[in-house]
Structure 1
Amino acid sequence: MLTYRTGAAGAPAAARFMSEHLLQQTLSPEMAAMAEYYEQGVTPPTLADAAASRYGRFMASGAPLAAETLDGLVRAEAERLAESGAATATGADNGQDEPNLRALAALAAFAAAGLVGREEAMACMVRLSGAGPASEASGAGAGDNERRFDAAMAEAAVAPDRSSAMAAPRRDMNPMLARRLGIEPQRGLKPDEVACLLNGQRADGGAIEGRVQRASSLPLAQIFDLDAAQVPTREELARMLAGRKVNGEALPAEEAERAVRRLLSGLGVKDKTLTTEQRGHILAGRDAEGREVEARQYRTILEAAKMRIGYI
């Protein structure tokens, strides 16, 4: 069975808080701190710990990793970081792009975990060329690269792993669906993109092709210009059934048809056509079956409204 919940947002900005909530880690920092307390000082895994757990099996023999193997593992880890959507802060303000930063973060975690030596890691950055921060395209000198790598390695040894429990698109998502929603399955979603999706838009803020949006509806009391706290009189009910406001002003044809249909539905009319008997009951202050309608029931019917779905 498919279950879902809806909320009224109206704009991507209004869904921003929900998107940030959905992108939070499975275990919040507060809960992680509580868990640390009850674990008697056991600290959460660092970036280096996570790398050792994830790739340590490749070092089981004790022999150094072959260059091709190391390059492949770094690329795999960089892709995983991209899919997780985790931010990579190291070097964020030195002009490097995200793929380079992710490759740097992966290598630094490997080195901090003891999976690879520093010299091997620096050589790997050179081999990765355009995918690595040591490439010629980066424009950075060797000394800058080494200092940047040392800083990232020091951070990986102490910084907690924030990439293992992040929300990400399904990798087996239908490509046609991904294109229609403006999603790139190979990377994680940013909060702004999630907010747009929650607001019924493409991830880039555009309209979703073929999407049908449920229209909102005003309360009947507002449409008919009626005080919902008061039981409508026979004259007012007659005007409402005729598609008019209680002051006699005619409503637009389509609006009148929808409003009368909602009123009749609330009073128990199941068919599209109102019978003479049912009309008599309604004008007498009863429902379509002849049962008395209390003021509270009238108020519920007259105040009911449907807001436009903002996010799903």
Structure 2
Amino acid sequence: MEIHYLRHAVTVANYESISKAAKYLHMAQPNLSNSIKTLETDLGIRIFIRNSKGVQLTEEGKEFIIYAESILQQIDSLEARYFTQQDETIRIRMSVARSSHLAMLLINYLKKITLSYTVHFKETTAFEVINDVASGVSEIGVTKYSNSQKEYFTQLANRKNLIIEPFAKHQSVLLMSQNHPLANSKKITLEMLSEFTEIIHGDFKEPISLTPSRLANNMVPTKNKIFIYDRGSLMLFLSQMNDTFMWTANTNQGLLNNYGLVEKNCQEVDSKLYDAFIYPKNKLLSNECKEIKSLIKEQAKKNFI
């Protein structure tokens, strides 16, 4: 049985879809299907059942995926510990929910490293951060969730044999162009926002979108909504369309200056966003990840509530 078959099966289980898993793995869908069939034949069990929405784990499949994730985590741990020592190359595999703060922190960390290094820094959705760590794509992750999402993400992490460790919380704020009609307003209400265009992260399979309807007791629909899947494009829309806004956590001041954006409070919304580390249970993190984890926690004490 080939190790890559295990990674294929775990990825399909995470996405509950052959096509979406194939896209994530950069594989042709028929090749991934054949990989799963070969694995099922070798094991003599049925791992997945196809349904109208994608695929579903069988009871035997659920048990197999638990073992597969554990094996992959141990393999990744061995590679991180011993392969790095052999060639004196630092290896960092990290997935984070979109964050300018974390990108700058990693940049500053790498500037101080004298050894050679290989870094995989993936900025993705809060949900996919968990999948990346569970499948071994990343050694550690940093995810983000709101009050209403806390139970969902905690249960998801436990189900995938991961530790979820909250380390910071932010006040939810409005992000908009400095030329937005409300940019100079001292008081912003949900009703005032209803006339404008809301930018929303179009995250795949997020349990709850962070919109005013989820943050306030009374729903005030916005005039227009734009779902965007890339942070660079998101910042461009906000800076170039003066009628747009989005709900977010605190943004790096340098990024605000570069795009001509401002942060504003909405008195009617008092919602907190939480940052949390994601890493496997019963697995030692590499020294590099431990250092980065400590730096992130140190920065959080300075910048967040």
TM-score (normalised: structure 1)? 0.23
Structure with the higher helix share, 1 or 2 = 1
Answer with 1 or 2: which has the greater Rg: 1
